[in-house]
A = this chain, B = another copy of it.
Amino acid sequence: MTLLTDLTALLGPAHVLTGADAHRLAHDWTGTYRGSPLAAVRPADTGEVAAVVQLAARHGIPVIPVSGNTGLTGATYTENGLLLSLERLNRIREIRPGSRLAVVEAGVILSRLHEAAEGHGLYFPLWFGARGSAMIGGVLSTNAGGSNVLRYGSTRALCLGLEVVLPDGRVLDLMSELHKDNSGYDLRDLFIGAEGTLGIITAAVMKLVPAPRAHATAALAMGSLPDALTLLNRLQEASGGLVEAFEFMPETYSRRLAQVRPDLGLPFAAIPPVTILVELGATAPFLAEPDAGGTPRLTALLQETLARAMEEGLVHDAVIAASEAQSRALWARREAAAEITFAKRPFIDTDIAVPLDRAEAFLTEIHARLAAFAPTAETLTVAHLGDGNLHFTVFPEADDPAFHDRVVETIEDVVQSLRGSFSAEHGVGLSKRNSMARRKDPVALDVMRAVKSALDPDNRMNPGKVLPE
């Protein structure tokens, strides 16, 4: 029997896709990676995932898990492997508001979890532009970040338990609801961020948090990145750590936004050197209540801090959202980042992290080095500044692989000199395997390879991803 016959017998013909149907699932949305899978299957539950993995093992065919396919690193690319879509594992199995947790399957779309939590007065605090398509399985497998990491941590910090189908088809039950558990090695965090190379995450226990009763959101016109960091520290100090997002958009970003999405407008009449989107969130009732002047105390706290900063010339101008609609408009300008980046081709995008106090050094140094060999290349920066996480994009004039490599290696050189990482929140996939080979501690690479071999000796789970050859 062929694998396809076996799969069809197992799942039914509607859930074994080939040809154009399978290829549709093999295209990530950047359009950079277009795989050609042997087939794509859509198992209905964990048992079927395990059965598919066992069948694939018997036939010696690699398995590549895919969920929302919103990744940016080609992590679901395959030639002739079996794409395993988690989209039908889409149940929110349980929400326990008293324990503030949700038990969800890998195919649940992030925004569905947002809505479900909201229905219980709670919040799932992982937030990024692709939330309407990204699914929990992929979010966990890449340890996704986003705009709220500053306050709530990355996906790893929001996960209590996991269910994983191992490369041999056995199901690993780590579905703990506990906040403290020291019974053996931390396997959960090994599978989180492993991009499907060690097994397939099928379900998870995720933490929920109290929904903020009040938000205060503002766009700020500022003079420089160091000024922005000074302000971030003041806001954290004044609010006791209530900053949920602190997004950095320099002049080049605003210009490109005005060009590609003129409909979104800009907050300031003249484009400032730096625009910051800041959001504070408060769960305590006393911060949501109005002060003597009728302003919610959280907003008043933001206003007071900004007023002092403006007196000093640290902040040049500010637009504080007076309504939910105004807040959404401020966010729309930040969330257009991927769209305005990928609208221009070719592009060389990066996802780097540096220690917070070295973010300015990165930008100064990389622009100086690029000026030496690519003086006319446009660049674009947008950053989760509170995490030291910069998305720095270079638009070369032509699609020249040698030039591309030179740019990437130059960026890596600068990042490494600042003890940063070439991959902050998007993962490695295919696109950063060369960076792994060049920049990761060789001892760390050896340990990773030993773990991979121990768990997947035949290299059948998403082979060729994360680890360099």
Q: Chain A: residues with CB nearer than 8 A to chain B?
A: 96, 98-99, 142-143, 145, 149, 154, 156-157, 166, 170-174, 176-187, 189-190, 192-194, 198, 210, 236-242, 282-287, 301, 353-357, 384, 387-389, 419-428, 432, 435-436, 439-441, 443-445, 447-448, 450-455, 466-467
CB-defined A-B contacts under 8 Å, sample of 13: A166-B447, A170-B443, A174-B441, A180-B388, A181-B421, A183-B432, A183-B439, A190-B451, A238-B284, A238-B286, A240-B284, A447-B455, A451-B455
Q: How far is the CB of A359 from chain B (nearest CB, A)?
A: 11
CB closest chain-B residue, reference A457: B450
Q: How far is the CA of A282 from the CA of B286 in the complex (A)?
A: 14
Q: Are B443 and A171 closer than 8 Å at their CB atoms? A: yes
Q: How far is the CB of A204 from chain B (nearest CB, A)?
A: 15
Q: Are A184 and B440 closer than 8 Å at their CB atoms? A: yes
Chain B residues, CB < 8 A from A384:
180
Q: Are B301 and A181 closer than 8 Å at their CB atoms? A: no
Q: How far is the CB of A128 from chain B (nearest CB, A)?
A: 13
Q: Are A443 and B172 closer than 8 Å at their CB atoms? A: yes
Q: Are A387 and B444 closer than 8 Å at their CB atoms? A: no
Q: Are B353 and A443 closer than 8 Å at their CB atoms? A: no
Q: How far is the CA of A185 from the CA of B419 in the complex (A)?
A: 18
Q: How far is the CA of A181 from the CA of B210 in the complex (A)?
A: 27
Question: Given that A284-B240, A428-B184 are known contacts, is A166 also in contact with B419, CB under 8 Å in the complex?
Answer: no
A189's partner among B190, B239, B389, B436 (CB-CB below 8 A) is B190
Q: Are A443 and B210 closer than 8 Å at their CB atoms? A: no
Q: How far is the CA of A436 from the CA of B181 in the complex (A)?
A: 12
Q: Are A149 and B180 closer than 8 Å at their CB atoms? A: yes
Q: Are A172 and B444 closer than 8 Å at their CB atoms? A: yes
Chain B residues, CB < 8 A from A210:
236-237, 240-241
A239's partner among B156, B184, B284, B444 (CB-CB below 8 A) is B284
Q: How far is the CB of A97 from chain B (nearest CB, A)?
A: 11
Q: Are A353 and B184 closer than 8 Å at their CB atoms? A: no
Q: Are A177 and B466 closer than 8 Å at their CB atoms? A: no
CB closest chain-B residue, reference A354: B178
Q: How far is the CB of A201 from chain B (nearest CB, A)?
A: 14
Q: Are B283 and A423 closer than 8 Å at their CB atoms? A: no
Q: Are B287 and A240 closer than 8 Å at their CB atoms? A: yes
A426's partner among B182, B355, B447, B467 (CB-CB below 8 A) is B182
CB closest chain-B residue, reference A421: B181
Q: Are B454 and A450 closer than 8 Å at their CB atoms? A: yes
Give the residue among A174, A181, A419 with the most B Cβ atoms within 10 A. A181
Question: Given that A184-B428, A184-B467, A185-B466 are known contacts, is A388 also in contact with B179, CB under 8 Å in the complex?
Answer: yes
Q: Are A178 and B239 closer than 8 Å at their CB atoms? A: no
Chain B residues, CB < 8 A from A236:
210
Q: How far is the CA of A436 from the CA of B185 in the complex (A)?
A: 11
Give the residue among A179, A241, A284 with the most B Cβ atoms within 10 A. A179
Q: How far is the CA of A142 from the CA of B182 in the complex (A)?
A: 7
Q: How far is the CB of A436 from chain B (nearest CB, A)?
A: 6
Give the residue among A149, A177, A283, A388 with the most B Cβ atoms within 10 A. A177
Q: How far is the CA of A5 from the CA of B284 in the complex (A)?
A: 64
Q: How far is the CB of A438 from chain B (nearest CB, A)?
A: 11
CB closest chain-B residue, reference A192: B186
A283's partner among B176, B240, B282 (CB-CB below 8 A) is B240
Q: How far is the CA of A421 from the CA of B445 in the complex (A)?
A: 32
Chain B residues, CB < 8 A from A426:
182
Chain B residues, CB < 8 A from A179:
149, 353, 387-388
Q: How far is the CB of A355 from chain B (nearest CB, A)?
A: 5
Q: How far is the CA of A275 from the CA of B166 in the complex (A)?
A: 46
Chain B residues, CB < 8 A from A355:
99, 177-178
Give the residue among A419, A451, A453 with the most B Cβ atoms within 10 A. A451
Q: Are B283 and A241 closer than 8 Å at their CB atoms? A: yes
Q: Are A190 and B190 closer than 8 Å at their CB atoms? A: yes
CB closest chain-B residue, reference A98: B357
Enumerate the 9 nearest inter-chain pairs by beta-carbon distance, A residue then B residue, closest first.
A240-B284, A454-B454, A189-B189, A180-B424, A450-B454, A181-B421, A240-B283, A183-B423, A180-B353
